[in-house]
């Protein structure tokens, strides 16, 4: 199962990224565990300086912007 983390401090952009990522995963029929990471130390451990960020299986895929559902689907495949 894929592990998808959304890094951010709980802002609207973080919520939007979570919603878009869940939609992308559903459209691809990907079974995933979704985790929201709000701990600043954990966020910084990924080397992320701007949020929101999308982490897939421990690898930062996007930081500082909200990609479209189509862009997220490409990142998940």
Active site residues: 11, 14
Question: What is the H or E stretch that residue 23 is in?
Answer: helix 12-27
What are residue 62's DSSP bridge partners? 54
- Full strand arrangement of the beta sheet holding 32-37: 32-37, 2-7, 53-56, 59-63
């Amino acid at each position: 199962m894929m592990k998808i983390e959304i890094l951010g401090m709980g802002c609207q952009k973080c919520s939007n990224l979570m919603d878009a990522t869940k939609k992308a995963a559903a459209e691809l029929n990907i079974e995933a565990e979704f985790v929201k990471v709000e701990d600043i130390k954990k966020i910084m451990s990924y080397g992320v300086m701007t949020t929101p960020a999308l982490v897939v299986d421990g690898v930062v895929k996007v930081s500082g912007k909200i990609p479209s559902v189509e862009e997220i689907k490409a990142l998940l495949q």
